[in-house]
Amino acid sequence: MTTLLRNGIVLPMTGGRTLLDPGSVLVEGTDIVAVGPVAEVDTDPRAAGAEVVDLTGHAVLPGLHNCHLHSGLLRGTAESLSLWDWLKTYVDPAHRALTPEIARVASLHCYAEGLLAGTTSVMDMWRFMEGSAEVADRLGLRATLVPYVADEEGYDYFETIETNRRLLETHAVAADGRVRSWVGLEHLLYCTPTAFRAAADLAEEFGTGIHTHSSESLWEVQESLTRFGRRPVEELHNRGVLGERTVVAHCVWLDDREIQVLAATGTSVAHCPCSNMKLSSGPARVGAMRAAGIAVGLGSDGEKENNNLDLLEEMKFASLLQKVTTLDPTTGDPWDVLTMATIEGARALGLDAVTGSLEVGKRADIATVDLRGLHTTPILHGADQNVPAHLVFSASGRDVRDVWVDGRRLVAGGQPTTFDVASVRAEAQAAAEELFARRAALTKS
Ligand SMILES: [Zn+2]
């Protein structure tokens, strides 16, 4: 099967700040086989007989990578608290009430929402993830599954190293390589040194990555200094989990030395600007981290702390947060933010050889964005080109028209091809009601 994505404004994201305007992308089977000016790709012999998708007035970009997500069903119910109060009051009780079936529906809901908004790859830290693997396989997106392991006293309802191992045994790589499992550690303060050692061993044994949270709030940095005598990233290093296959979410309150440690170990970062603003955590030093060579991808964090999974919107917040906290309008440049959402996110997840840019030989993971709305008018070309800025500042996930993963069209003209929105909504509604009833019963007892 060959598909010609024809006459769009193509952002290849291959390093330069260049657009193909107009340009086309030719997809054969799972792969991109040509990217170039319209006339050039039209004359490619492989384009003869291809299904043509006319993308006049659309941007064509690599599918977006959500490098830090928690599936969930708590949206809009856990507001106006700081991180640690919010965890204690809302999030941890919901974890206690969670069942495998509710967890599966939460992933279905979140992956479906992300996919419709142009996300082709998620890293999800969640629970009972066999169900997440099943829905990721069915929906067709790329997913890196990371169980929430915790073992400190009082957190025994989380996943364990043993359940993480079981997931790896069955789902280390699944769904033709689209679904992978990693080792997950909730947090420095939720996991003992024993869990960290076991996690590092498990990742080594299965040749897989590690994902955890760190340095999200100032309180946590202080607590780490008090308990361990080290700042959080230094303590993570001390516990042997930093490295080229490790992604740390947040990294808001890092000092220069911690940035050096992340860079020297090749550790990547998932930056979650909405969450960091909403929980009043603070602004991450994105410029300093990227200047040190750290791959910084974007993450939505959970639906409960965002409260949507729209990475186009996340790009705007990523840019504005940098501008307002550095007082430097040259930060948060649209091309930089687009890079983080695409190829740099793929690099953070260790997927950049496969996806993250539009180039020959990579998998066809592609999103198109309709730019014909009033909010993305005018579209200008050449020296005046404004499409990168439109994507970051004007467009939203609702403007996404098509999504392909591995060459398979998962969203066509705004409609999903692998699920039904009304059914997902109904399942999510029922599962959320069950979760809240279970949580209320547990809180009473
Ligand atoms: Zn998180």
CATH number, domain containing residue 146: 3.20.20.140
The CA 302 to ligand 1 mean position distance, Å, reads 6
The CA 21 to ligand 1 mean position distance, Å, reads 38
- Is pLDDT at 185 greater than 70 in this prediction? yes
**Structural domain span for residue 318:** 64-348
Q: Which amino acid is at 12?
A: P
Cβ-in-10-Å burial (0-12, 13-18, 19+) of 105 comes to buried
Average pLDDT, the chain: 96
pLDDT score at 156: 82
In a domain, 264, yes or no: yes
The CA 414 to ligand 1 mean position distance, Å, reads 29
Per-residue pLDDT of 19-30, as tens digits, reads: 999 999 999 999
pLDDT band, residue 225 (cuts 50/70/90) = very high
The CA 213 to ligand 1 mean position distance, Å, reads 6
In a domain, 48, yes or no: yes
Whole-angstrom CA distances from 168 to 47, 91, 172, 209 are 41, 25, 4, 11
The CA 166 to ligand 1 mean position distance, Å, reads 22
Residues 11 and 109 in one domain: no
**CA proximity to 78, closest of 437, 436, 443, 397:** 436
Per-residue pLDDT of 302-317, as tens digits, reads: 999 999 999 999 999 9
Determine contact, residues 258/279, Cβ cutoff 8 Å: no
Q: How far apart are CA 306 and CA 301, in angstroms?
A: 7
Domain count along the chain = 2
The CA 311 to ligand 1 mean position distance, Å, reads 15
Structure tokens at 293: 């060579």
> Inter-axis angle of helices 161-171 and 193-206, to 10 degrees?
10
pLDDT score at 159: 95
The CA 272 to ligand 1 mean position distance, Å, reads 8
Q: How far apart are CA 370 and CA 410, in angstroms?
A: 16
Residues 325 and 396 in one domain: no
The CA 60 to ligand 1 mean position distance, Å, reads 29
Determine contact, residues 317/271, Cβ cutoff 8 Å: no
pLDDT score at 445: 61
Residues 98 and 150 in one domain: yes
CATH number of the domain residue 23 falls in: 2.30.40.10
Regarding pTM above 0.95, the answer is yes
Residues 58 and 68 in one domain: no
In a domain, 71, yes or no: yes
pLDDT score at 184: 97
Residues 72 and 145 in one domain: yes
The CA 249 to ligand 1 mean position distance, Å, reads 7
In a domain, 190, yes or no: yes
Per-residue pLDDT of 345-373, as tens digits, reads: 999 999 999 999 999 999 999 999 999 99
- Is pLDDT at 444 greater than 80 in this prediction? no
pLDDT band, residue 92 (cuts 50/70/90) = confident
Helix, strand, coil share of the chain (percent; to 5): 45, 20, 35
The CA 299 to ligand 1 mean position distance, Å, reads 9
Residues 44 and 121 in one domain: no
Residues 165 and 232 in one domain: yes
Percent of the chain with pLDDT over 90: 94
Rounded to an integer, the average pLDDT of 197-224 is 97
The CA 301 to ligand 1 mean position distance, Å, reads 5
